[in-house]
Amino acid sequence: MSMIDVRGLTKRYGPHTVVDDLSFTVEAGQVTGFLGPNGAGKSTTLRMIVGLAAPDRGSVTIGGRRYAEIPVPLLEVGALLDAAAVHGSRTAYAHLHALAVSNGLPRRRVGEVLARTGLESVAGKRAGGFSLGMRQRLGIAATLLGDPKVLIFDEPVNGLDPEGIRWARDLMRSLAAEGRAVLVSSHLMSEMAQTADHLIVIGRGRLVADAAVSELTHASGEGTVLVRAAEPGDFALRLSAAGAGVREGLEGSLVVSGMSAGDIGRLAAYHGVALSELTPQRVSLEDAFMELTRDSVEYQGVAA
């Protein structure tokens, strides 16, 4: 059974439909990346999953139940929606202690999650003095208090330094490896490419893609092939005649689309053209993401 089941979720703020008939599931044992440009409705969706915002239509269940019906939520779901959501003059320990007590969890859990997130040395310090990275760690610590089966992180690597990003990535991988369902939102495809097994891409509140990471890179448009030939002009004409799309690349190279590297090589051999390079260009996940969400980016910069 899916751990998180989102069905037909819709949320309007006045005339704006922020989340539009969104459906997807999140499975146990893998990291599911929740991707979309800024303003795509990721945070609103996550807030509806944990019952902070009420959907106008549709439903969300976690392990088959509505969030509000879970008797001890921290045992089932750990959610980090905003790392800044800590009272600055409360100590890290007191913050976690109050949360643990609110769900009847033993006090030793506070020490355990502080240890897992590397915050033991600052447990008695006020959170107001924490760097954004430390706050992220504190927020992640809070999600782990009840050792839950479902974890939800909204932009967890924002503000982390490279070492912290690697730590967060490894933590999410290990949480998924322990059999938990991990849902991580991000607007950075490159980050998700290294962390997620499965991707849910939304744009303007609508589902754009729901696929394994590997599928997504293959599916979104064929790759191009970089070709260097002794007489590029001549060969370009022959390629066009054979039905390929050709444009000029850097330093006299050709960027060929709509024809595989193998076919290009055969065509060159047939015409006796010497090739000095024949390189298939893999579509990066980043390109795939741009391609998918091009129409749904809220504010688009104009290339100068």
Binding site for other proteins (CB under 8 A): 47, 50-54, 67-68, 70-71, 73-74, 77, 79, 81-82, 84-91, 94-95, 97-99, 101-104, 142
Do the strands 57-62 and 4-13 form a parallel or antiparallel pair, or are they unpaired?
antiparallel
Cross-strand bridge partners of residue 11 = 19
- Residues 8 and 194: their CA atoms lie apart, in Å, by 29
Shortest separation between residue 277's beta carbon and other proteins, angstroms: 53
Q: Which is nearer to other proteins, 84 or 269 (CB)?
A: 84
Instruction: Look up tokens 């260097």; give the residue.
Output: 228
When the beta carbons of 72 and 177 are compared against other proteins, the nearer one is 72
β-pairing, 254-257 vs 224-229, is: antiparallel
Tell me the backbone φ, ψ of residue 296, rounded to 5 degrees: -115, 10
Q: Which is nearer to other proteins, 110 or 172 (CB)?
A: 110
| Smallest separation, CB 92 to other proteins (Å) | 11
Q: How far is the CB of 191 from other proteins (least distance, A)?
A: 23
Q: Please, what is the minimum distance in Å from the beta carbon of residue 94 to other proteins?
A: 4
According to DSSP, residue 274 is labeled P
Nearer to other proteins, 84 or 274 (CB): 84
Residue number, 54 or 303, with CB nearest to other proteins: 54
Q: Cβ of 9: how many Cβ atoms within 10 Å?
A: 24
Strand partners, 191: none
Minimal distance, residue 170 CB to other proteins, in Å: 24
Least distance CB 73 / other proteins (angstroms): 6
Min. distance of Cβ 248 from other proteins in angstroms?
Answer: 52
Distances (CA, A) of 217 to 130, 189, 290: 38, 11, 12
Q: Which residues contact 281 (CB under 8 A, 6 or more apart)?
A: 223, 224, 225, 226, 255
Type of residue found at 99:
L
Least separation in angstroms between residue 150's CB and other proteins is 12
Enumerate residues 6+ apart whose C-beta is below 8 A from 173.
31, 195
Which residues are 32's β-sheet partners?
A: 183, 198
Q: Which is nearer to other proteins, 138 or 259 (CB)?
A: 138
How far is 28 from 115, CA to CA, in rounded Å?
Answer: 25
- Closer residue to other proteins, CB minimum distance, 101 or 274: 101
Taking the C-alpha atoms of residue 103 and residue 188, their distance in angstroms, rounded to an integer, is 34
Specify the residue, 84 or 230, whose C-beta has the smaller distance to other proteins: 84
